[in-house]
Amino acid sequence: MSLWLLFLAASFSFSVIVYYVVFRAARCSSSVRLEGKTAIVTGSNTGIGKATALGLAKRGARVILACRNKDKAEAAAFDIRRETGNNQVVFMQLDLASFKSVRRFAETFLKTEPRLDILINNAGVLGPGRTEDGFGMAFGVNHLGHFLLTNLLLERLQQCGSSRVVTVSGLLHRFGSIDFPLLASKKDLVSDQSTWHNFQAYCNSKLCNVLFTRELANRLEGSSVTCYSLHPGVISTELCRSMSLWLQLLLMPVAKLFFLDPEAGSHTTLYCALQEGIEPLSGRYFSNCALQQVGAKGRDDALARKLWEVSERLTSLS
């Protein structure tokens, strides 16, 4: 299985390297200003999330860094305030691996912040472990945590006129699948915690991101809230920090040579958050600052609806 994983990783890396060497990431050129508006960015103490928060702060937004690690997030907030001159960049504690933490964050936010214009579901994990509520880590954090957070904040988004929900998915959603009987028995979409299954769990969670966005758009049709999912590009970030050391060593030289940096990786997220005129494309998937087609499973409305209904039960929203 390890040799098969090595072959798959090498093949995938080669294909994306060729693609991104030929087609470098597009840049978000929106000149929209955000004074008086509030944005939340999850997982914004490092990587794409921090670069996204920086881009929003430069445009004058009040930016909430919703992160698990207090020290790292406060350091990131300090960096962003210093670079932008925008003092409206603050940290609020959020651990997406804990429903209790998600609910506490939402309660605090709704009590202290009068508006929410942009919610960016950016945080993501790849690796073994279980959430506080017993779910596989990738499914629990990448999907369920963001699903619960978005629903708890949805009324505030609707109160603020034109607002957006942006969820960072990825190209790997094309390799994802959703096995509901397995989810019911294992509280996860994979059967164990091997390296291969951790990779598959991540792919599955990225498919969940696409389907969540699609169903959210269906439910919000006719409202002032629009939503988008996206592939940020192949980025050199800390996402793989929980992978085995040998896999990190394998990927490190490739990442340094060919992968985009977090600043470049933030542009499609910023495009979805800021670009004027894309409102009719709510629920759709973007890459390289342009509309892209998702895999066949990501276009399955029945699957999206069932995932939503199951997710409501798992997060005690229904």
DSSP string for residues in the chain = -HHHHHHHHHHHHHHHHHHHHHSPPP--------TT-EEEEET-SSHHHHHHHHHHHHTT-EEEEEES-HHHHHHHHHHHHHHH----EEEEE--TT-HHHHHHHHHHHHHH-S---EEEE-----SS-B-TTS-BHHIIIIIIIHHHHHHHHHHHHHHTSSEEEEEE--GGGGG----HHHHHHHSSSSSS-SHHHHHHHHHHHHHHHHHHHHHHHHHTTTSSEEEEEEE--SB-SSGGGGS-HHHHHHHHHHHHHHSBPHHHHTHHHHHHHH-TT-GGGTT-EEETTEEEPPPGGGG-HHHHHHHHHHHHHHTT--
Q: Residues 102, 48: contact at Cβ < 8 Å?
A: no
Q: Is 20 a catalytic residue?
A: no
The pair of three-digit structure tokens given for residue 309, joined into one six-digit string = 């209904």
Q: Considering 20, 202, 228, 285, which one is annotated as catalytic? A: 202
Task: Show which residues are catalytic.
Answer: 202
